[in-house]
Amino acid sequence: MTEDSGRGERDLERAAAALAGRVPPALAPLAKLAFDYRWSWWPGGPETFRAVDPHRWDLCSGNPVRLLQESSDAMLARAADDSALIARAVSMADAIAAERARPFAPGAFAPDRPVAFLCAEYGVHGSLPIYAGGLGVLAGDLLKEASDRALPLVAVGLLYRHGSFHQRLDPSGWQHEYWVETDAERLPAARVTDEEGEPLQISVPICGRAVAAQIWRIDVGRVPLFLLDSDVPDNTRVDRWITSRLYVGDRETRLAQYALLGIGGIRALRALGIDPGVVHLNEGHAALAPLELAREQRAAGVPFAAALDDARARTVFTTHTPVAAGNDRYEPGLALSVLGGFAGELQLTPDEFLALGRVRRDDPHESFGITVLGLHASRAANGVSRRHGEVAREMWASLWPDRPVEAVPIAHVTNGVHIPTWMAPAMRDLLDRRLGSDWNSRAADASTWDAVDEIPDAELWAVRQALRRELVGWVQEQSIDDRLARGAVPREYAEAAARGFAPDTLTIGFARRIATYKRLYLLFRDPQRALPLLDGATPLQLVIAGKAHPEDDDAKRLVQQLFPAAMAQQVASRVAYLEDYDHAMAARLVAGCDVWVNLPRPPLEASGTSGMKAALNGCLHLSVLDGWWQEAFDGRNGWGIGVESAGNPAPDAEAQDARDASTLYSLLEREIVPAFYERDEAGVSRAWVQRIKHSLRSIGPRFNASRMLRDYSEMVYRAR
Ligand SMILES: *Cc1c(COP(=O)(O)O)cnc(C)c1O
């Protein structure tokens, strides 16, 4: 028995062995690979699974467990006979096993005191639908990077039966949502069992009841992700619902989720025999975790103040929300009805407990805020970009009334993206050739990227052409399917984008969660200027994607009213709104677009990360100076909107919209379109390629997850 066997490792091995037993023996290495998401960022990993049964692979969203469970005997037999495929699987399995066996990186953290990362959502891969957007995808990227860097880190979250929702637009453009139930038995997951082989369970006092949860383990490379699940027979129907839906609308259930994540997260680690060196609360949802650490001390007779100090010394907190309304607050009555039992375990009176989530400690009317609790109960706090650090210090200055705003103890660690996940194979191959095959292990060093300048322009341009062509081919097919599925559309409309999109046309991407502040509507704010850009000898084509939150009717209206009716014709053939934006679609779009657009109303974009993914692929960023772009834009590595106001908010929103839309059109008309279509004798757009090179060199080393994790390790996790 290995040291980890009681932490679900044995259970994962058993699940892999059971799957291996159901497929031809030659495919056994694939069954083992299926239970560790490491394949998903191994070069050639996805292609290897896909080769087993390409159609089935797409149907099951790239879930390798389902692929091997559901492929027909004939397809499995065919794959087992494919000696090249088997050889690839064997060498990948060997290499991944060797990587897992590597010792942990030396550093501040002993492997037996790992960082415990707690988050309400994880965007690891399209086949694991337990994320809603940027927060989850960032968390997924951080786990992968920790695996690559051999950092001792474990992650805790919730397993939602209805996690990510699917989006459909109807013929009027209105968004409808549907959920597909996630069957945990078909995920690359295993239920963690104890010595007797019984499911390991923990219990948390919620709403006056002891709510039980089982624990699933999913491996993200070397990093185990433990997911709590309240759907167990011991619980009432209501309590089984707690982990049913990600960001459920009902506030009581939402707070119950936070209790399960924070309190239950620590209890799960204890049940697994893990003693975290640092607890990292990634956003306020997990903010009850340090109180559970304090409760442990309370149970041992330590006074509350000392217990909280001790918990605080082990906790760090990252805030991601620059809007006051985005930070959940609960009326005192509701907070106590959900958490009163836990307050009792802490041996606190209701008022003492509520004070932990209040800015004005002894105001009995103030609600209970989870961000306030997170800030109060952690020794270090940070925002997720330089700009967001400033915004967060202003937002929470009232918690430190004695300090000037610059001295509010909230720092920043700017987000970064996981390069192997987001860089398309063609781009990665190019950099492997030109920067040296081990360049990714040095990705956070600026000098690693110097050799980008030596890449022949034509070679880089050829990669860009190939990536765009791949995307355009996919958009052509996808747009027909999407439009037909809306029902009641003329065939001509259904095929319009497939006919109008061209592989050599300048391709602009806008894809993100559709919230009002992201200002999708700026794209078509002035039809007189927008229309000519879609037409003529040097046109552009536009790919749009994004989901509105199911309860955000304003955002749904934005999608519905995106195009003025007068534009219908041109828009249908040069603009595609692709439905159901997710992790997999994001990867396609950031790779194939030429320009990535972001139009938030400053200062509401905490960071943004999709533009970083785009930049890694040689797609140029065109954005309002907000979030990460305010610290990244240098005048030559893309284009900035709001340069004159330095990204500061304008009091008159309407005037700001008009000004920013006008800048957007001017940049497209005067700089972007002409630069893209200007070619030399060889057909290469030289000025464009120069800009891409500069973008890679300036953005590549700074906005990746390696740099981010180094910052967390050195500046946040390490106790000062
Ligand atoms: C990267 C990513 C996001 C976050 O991107 P933003 O720039 O913050 O909009 C959201 N959703 C998915 C699926 C992503 O891959």
pLDDT at 651: 86
Rounded average pLDDT over 537-562: 93
Give the Å distance between the CA of 444 and the centre of ligand 1. Answer: 21
Which of 283, 510, 513, 549 has most ligand 1 atoms within 8 Å of CB, for mutation? Answer: 513
Q: Coil, strand, or helix at residue 578?
A: strand
Rounded average pLDDT over 279-299: 98
Ligand 1 atom nearest 585 alpha carbon: 13
Q: Is the pLDDT of residue 591 over 90?
A: yes
Give the Å distance between the CA of 137 and the centre of ligand 1. Answer: 7
> 272 with 11: CB under 8 angstroms?
no
Question: What is the rounded CA–CA span in Å between residue 204 and residue 211?
Answer: 5
Q: Counting beta carbons within 10 angstroms of the beta carbon of residue 154, is it exposed (0 to 12), middle (13 to 18) or buried (19 or more)? A: buried
Ligand 1 atom nearest 138 alpha carbon: 1
Q: For residue 125, give the amino acid letter.
A: H
The number of beta carbons lying within 10 Å of the beta carbon of residue 241 is: 17
Where on the phi/psi map is residue 441: left (φ > 0), alpha (ψ -120 to 50), or beta? alpha
The number of beta carbons lying within 10 Å of the beta carbon of residue 165 is: 19
Give the Å distance between the CA of 134 and the centre of ligand 1. Answer: 4
pLDDT at 307: 98
Q: Is the pLDDT of residue 1 over 50?
A: no
Q: Is the pLDDT of residue 108 over 70?
A: no
pLDDT at 650: 81
Q: Give me the phi and psi of 522, to 5 degrees please.
A: -65, -25
How far CA 49 is from CA of 39, 121, 127, 422, 646, in Å, comes to 9, 26, 13, 19, 47
Rounded average pLDDT over 658-684: 97
Ligand 1 atom nearest 134 alpha carbon: 4
Ligand 1 atom nearest 422 alpha carbon: 15
Question: What is the rounded CA–CA span in Å between residue 452 and residue 443?
Answer: 12
Question: What is the rounded CA–CA span in Å between residue 184 and residue 657?
Answer: 45
Among the listed residues 36, 136, 135, 47, the one whose alpha carbon sits nearest the alpha carbon of residue 93:
36
Number of H helices, E strands in the chain: 31, 20
Rounded average pLDDT over 516-530: 93
pLDDT at 4: 56
Give the Å distance between the CA of 692 and the centre of ligand 1. Answer: 21
Mind spelling out the 3-state secondary structure of 387-407?
HHHHHHHHHCHHHCCCCCHHH
- Closest residue to atom 9 of ligand 1, CA basis: 512
Residue 564's pLDDT band, with cuts at 50, 70 and 90, is low
Token pair 């970083």 is found at: 612
Residue 2's pLDDT band, with cuts at 50, 70 and 90, is very low
Among the listed residues 216, 248, 218, 219, the one whose alpha carbon sits nearest the alpha carbon of residue 230:
216
Helical axes 686-699 vs 457-486, angle rounded to 10°: 90
Token pair 């500069």 is found at: 694
DSSP class per residue in 55-123: HHHHHTTT-HHHHHHHS-HHHHHHHHT-HHHHHHHHHHHHHHHHHHHSPPPPSS--TTS-EEEE-S-B-
Question: What is the rounded CA–CA span in Å between residue 445 and residue 36?
Answer: 29
Query: Model confidence over 421-453: pLDDT tens digits?
Result: 999 999 999 999 999 999 999 999 999 999 999
- Closest residue to atom 5 of ligand 1, CA basis: 610
CA 44 to chain centroid: 22
Mind spelling out the 3-state secondary structure of 258-283?
HHHHHHHHHHHHHHCCCCCCEEEEEC
> 549 with 557: CB under 8 angstroms?
no
Question: What is the rounded CA–CA span in Å between residue 249 and residue 551?
Answer: 8
pLDDT at 26: 98
Q: Give me the phi and psi of 710, to 5 degrees please.
A: -60, -45
Question: What is the rounded CA–CA span in Å between residue 671 and residue 484?
Answer: 36
State yes or no: cis peptide before 603, omega within 30 of 0.
yes
> 232 with 119: CB under 8 angstroms?
no
Token pair 């990077």 is found at: 145
Residue 3's pLDDT band, with cuts at 50, 70 and 90, is low
Measured in residues, the chain has a length of: 720
Give the Å distance between the CA of 526 and the centre of ligand 1. Answer: 27
The C-alpha R_g of the chain, in whole angstroms, comes to 25
Question: What is the rounded CA–CA span in Å between residue 418 and residue 140?
Answer: 9
Pairing label, strands 278-282, 115-118:
parallel
The larger pLDDT score, comparing residue 223 to residue 558, is at 223
pTM score, whole prediction = 0.97
Q: Give me the phi and psi of 605, to 5 degrees please.
A: -95, 110
For Cα atoms 611, 615, 619, give the angle at the middle one, nearest 5 degrees.
100
- Closest residue to atom 4 of ligand 1, CA basis: 134
Token pair 């993914």 is found at: 613
Among the listed residues 435, 415, 611, the one whose alpha carbon sits nearest the alpha carbon of residue 511:
611
Query: Model confidence over 115-173: pLDDT tens digits?
Result: 999 999 999 999 999 999 999 999 999 999 999 999 999 999 999 999 999 999 988 88
The tokens for 179 are: 């959920």
The number of beta carbons lying within 10 Å of the beta carbon of residue 603 is: 24
Query: Model confidence over 324-370: pLDDT tens digits?
Result: 878 899 999 999 999 999 999 999 999 999 999 999 999 999 999 99
Q: Give me the phi and psi of 166, to 5 degrees please.
A: -100, 150
Rounded average pLDDT over 51-65: 97
Give the Å distance between the CA of 720 and the centre of ligand 1. Answer: 33
How far CA 505 is from CA of 374, 500, 535, 536, 574, in Å, comes to 48, 10, 11, 11, 10
Query: Model confidence over 448-485: pLDDT tens digits?
Result: 999 999 999 999 999 999 999 999 999 999 999 999 99
Give the Å distance between the CA of 131 and the centre of ligand 1. Answer: 11
Ligand 1 surroundings by CB, under 6 angstroms: 133-134, 137, 512, 582-583, 586, 608-611, 613
Query: Mean pLDDT over all residues of the chain?
Result: 95
